[in-house]
Amino acid sequence: MLKDIKSILITREQLAEKVAEMGEQITRDYRDKNLLMVSVLKGSVVFMADLMRSIGIPAGIDFMAVSSYGSGAKTSGVVKIVKDLDVKLEDRDLLLVEDILDSGMTLEYLKRVLSSRTPKSIRVATLLDKPERRRVDIRPDYVGFAIPDEFVVGYGLDYNEKYRNLPFVGALKPEVYAENPADK
Ligand code: IMP
Ligand code: MG
């Protein structure tokens, strides 16, 4: 697995420090609110697990799964709910937890669907942001790191369902994509 990594973009230590900071900020902002953290599977589970433990006020959690990318690195533009929430959103202050904001199409769709269920508020926390790639006008409320337009893996992020368990965020060697030319 490590042999496929070209470079480490964000180390384990940098991730821990940033996620702790984000948790402190969210703790301050949601002190008098009714926080429900919603993780968008599967990429955000590692971030979610660390972020929720750095939040010092009661926080409910739930999970949603959408399909947007198929199995490769290229966006299809199609978003579909594969697993919906278990809890009702009325009276909740919803915080959508994402691994990475790329074109923004997934999040725009989710925000639209979830708004129609009338939560008290909706905000977005994303670990990574690729602002150059944005195709719709959507801005996250909490961002860990803005990164250049490069495909990254690790800390929950995958390429063809691999590399999610790496403890850092890294870039893949080009020959890894070359094995799947249809993806890039
Ligand atoms: P968007 O709808 O284009 O913003 O897509 C966001 C989703 O695409 C993320 O939640 C990831 O699952 C996936 N994605 C986008 N860029 C990357 C990347 O660099 N590495 C891994 N997954 C990515
Ligand atoms: Mg994702």
- Per residue in 21-75, pLDDT tens? 999 999 999 999 999 999 999 999 999 999 999 999 999 999 999 886 555 555 5
Which residue, judged by its Cα, is nearest atom 17 of ligand 1? Answer: 151
- Per residue in 78-91, pLDDT tens? 678 999 999 999 99
pLDDT at 7 over 50: yes
The mean pLDDT of 125-149, rounded to a whole number, is 95
**pLDDT at residue number 178:** 78
pTM beyond 0.75: the answer is yes
Ligand 1 atom closest to Cα of residue 40: 10
pLDDT at 105 over 70: yes
Ligand 1 atom closest to Cα of residue 44: 10
Q: Which of 29, 39, 93 is nearest to 61 (CA)?
A: 39
- The type of residue at 144 is G
**pLDDT at residue number 70:** 54
Alpha-carbon separation of residue 11 from 16, 47, 94, 170, 177 (angstroms): 9, 14, 29, 8, 23
Average pLDDT, the chain: 92
Which run of H or of E encompasses 19?
helix 12-29
**pLDDT at residue number 184:** 47
The answer to whether residue 102 is catalytic is: yes
Neighbour count for residue 43 (Cβ, 10 Å): 21
CA of 98 to the centre of ligand 2 (A): 6
